[in-house]
Amino acid sequence: PTSHTAILARGLGIPAIVAAAGATGIADGTNVAVDGTSGTVTVGVEPAANSADLPPARAARTHVDLAGLGPGHTKDGHPVSLYLNIGSIKDVRTGAQGVGLLRTEFLFLGRKDSPSRAEQHAAYLELFNAFPGARVVIRTLDAGADKPLPFLALPEEENPALGVRGLRTARLRPEVLDDQLAAIASAAAAAACEVWVMAPMVATPAEAADFAARARAHGLQHVGAMVEIPAAALRAARLLEHLDFLSIGTNDLGQYTMAADRQDGRLPDLLDPWQPALLELIALAAEAGRAAGKPVGVCGEAAADPRLAAVLVGLGVTSLSMAAAAVPAVHAELSARTLRECRELAERARDALDPAQARALVSRS
Ligand code: PEP
Ligand code: MG
């Protein structure tokens, strides 16, 4: 569920199931019902005569209207900003509170050369201007591993997820990062929104300091890092000495915490975002943010699960970012819970033995 194919499908509102063993054995022409929410595939169903027969919530998903929802908050009024994860202009929805993760890989896909500063400036400005007055958190290029980008000519690796990916690519191609930061800064200066910039795959305080210095040298004022590596969560307080905010990428933090490849469909139990070990690391990062008085959000797929969103708020995260389709349900769940309840749920989930028990303890309330 956290592979990029699944993330793209979710962003498009397409019901999808991954790792459906035996799917290739279904005979051509068989009618199949796919329920992406429950993860069930029913083979040999009668086709619905028209889309009016579909449950309305599902039919509506591709046309999410966020206008009128208002800012996210708990039942007792504790604010929790609900932002969008976007990867291109097609993901933009009006009425959103802002963007918590703008993935920039779209500009670099299928290229032989890096896009010029002018091209990047134009693309970023168009996206920034879609959110006037709001906050847009843009992430610098996250190439490598599950997002291979040929133009970087990264060396072949046995274990690309543990190799030169994310911010690490700047060790080999520093000019690519500098061009991107220059383009982000010039677009930010021309835009009518508040631009925050963050780096993917930061592991150490030294990397955080180096990225912050580079970004600030380009005039960017709000600089942060993603927490995707357990080392970053464990040392979040040290990272925050150099940064203005953190954003927890639970997709990668989950895979690195459990040493389970997020693209490996055979390990769903280990990649489950309800893993108590993952929740412990999130709590550490959130606590570091609270102590420093700096925001710590979640922008991985975990934020899109309404119950887990309440747990994340209870762990202390200050914002949640997700595909537009997930916002209404998360908004509704948080509006129905006080902050105190969220904290109680978080306690239970953290104390659970495994994801199944964590879910059961939370859903009982
Ligand atoms: C994450 O790792 O949780 C994340 C949001 O980044 P990506 O899915 O793009 O790796
Ligand atoms: Mg990631």
Tokens describing residue 305: 């699960």
pTM beyond cutoff 0.85: yes
Q: State how far the Cα of 221 lies from the Cα of 296, in Å rounded to an integer.
A: 17
- Whether 60 is covered by a domain: the verdict is no
Reply yes or no on whether the pLDDT at 253 is more than 60. Answer: yes
For residues 204 and 314, membership in a common domain is answered with yes
Give the pLDDT confidence score for residue 1 in this predicted structure. 80
**Residues 234 and 319 reside in one and the same domain:** yes
45 falls within a domain: yes
Residue 23 structural domain:
1-55
pLDDT: is 312 or 40 the higher one?
312
Residues 77 and 17 placed together within one structural domain of the fold = no
| Whether 82 and 214 share a structural domain | yes
Ligand 1 pocket residue status of 104, Cβ below 6 Å: no
- What integer pLDDT is reported at residue 3 of this predicted model? 82
Instruction: Note whether 218 and 259 are same-domain residues.
Output: yes
Cβ(103) to ligand 1 under 6 A? Answer: yes
Residues 6+ apart with CB under 8 A from 180: 104, 120, 140, 141
Mean pLDDT (whole number) for 273-301: 98
Which ligand gives the minimal distance to the CA of 105?
Answer: 1
250 Cα: distance to centroid of ligand 1 (angstroms): 7
Regarding whether 39 and 181 lie in a shared domain, the answer is no
Q: Are residues 205 and 88 in the same domain?
A: yes
Statement: residue 52 has pLDDT above 80: no
Q: Are residues 75 and 36 in the same domain?
A: no
Flag whether pLDDT at 208 surpasses 70.
yes
Residues 30 and 103 in one domain: no
Are residues 189 and 111 part of one domain? Answer: yes
C-alpha 225 to ligand 2 mean position (Å) = 11
173 contacts 232 by C-beta, under 8 angstroms? no
pLDDT at 331 over 90: yes
Q: What is the number of the ligand 1 atom nearest to the C-alpha of 247? A: 5
Residue 39: inside a domain, yes or no?
yes
For helices 276-292 and 306-315, give the axis angle rounded to 10 degrees: 50
pLDDT, mean of residues 16-24: 87
Compute the distance from residue 25 Cα to the ligand 2 centre, in Å. 33
Site to substitute for ligand 1 among 5, 108, 299, most atoms within 8 A of C-beta: 299
Q: How many domains does the chain have?
A: 2
86 in any annotated domain: yes
CATH number of the domain enclosing 89: 3.20.20.60
